[in-house]
């Protein structure tokens, strides 16, 4: 199976040190309400750092782009697909 190449705009930033971790935690707390319950903190941080602040923003991305983010797993992707469907949205093709 060929490896997926991450788009240049999706860069995973390494979180090191207590200050950086607190900044990352504040970032994911700021978008927690915009996404369904059960999404892991690494997935929330990945969404936030990629510029997805809510489901409307998420619908502008493709399934493959979002799935390729570091921190996104099958559980998070399933919850996001369900949340998009419940609001009448889907990932862009």
Percent of the chain with pLDDT strictly greater than 70: 72
Output the pLDDT for position 68: 96
What does the pLDDT look like over 51-86, one tens digit per residue?
999 999 999 999 999 999 999 999 999 999 999 999
What is the residue extent of each domain of the chain? Answer: 17-86
d(CA 1, CA 21): 34
Output the pLDDT for position 78: 97
What does pTM read for this prediction? 0.71
Burial class (CB in 10 A: 0-12, 13-18, 19+), 16: exposed
Q: Identify the architecture of domain 17-86 in CATH.
A: Orthogonal Bundle (1.10)
Non-local (6+) Cβ contacts of 85 within 8 A are none
């Amino acid at each position: 199976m060929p490896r997926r190449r991450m788009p240049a705009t999706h860069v995973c930033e390494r979180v090191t040190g207590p200050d950086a971790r607190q900044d990352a935690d504040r970032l994911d707390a700021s978008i927690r309400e915009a996404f369904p319950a059960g999404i892991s903190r690494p997935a929330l941080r990945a969404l936030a750092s990629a510029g997805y602040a809510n489901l409307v923003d998420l619908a502008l991305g493709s399934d493959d782009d979002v799935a390729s983010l570091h921190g996104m797993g099958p559980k998070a992707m399933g919850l996001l697909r369900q949340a998009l469907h419940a609001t009448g949205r889907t990932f862009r093709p």
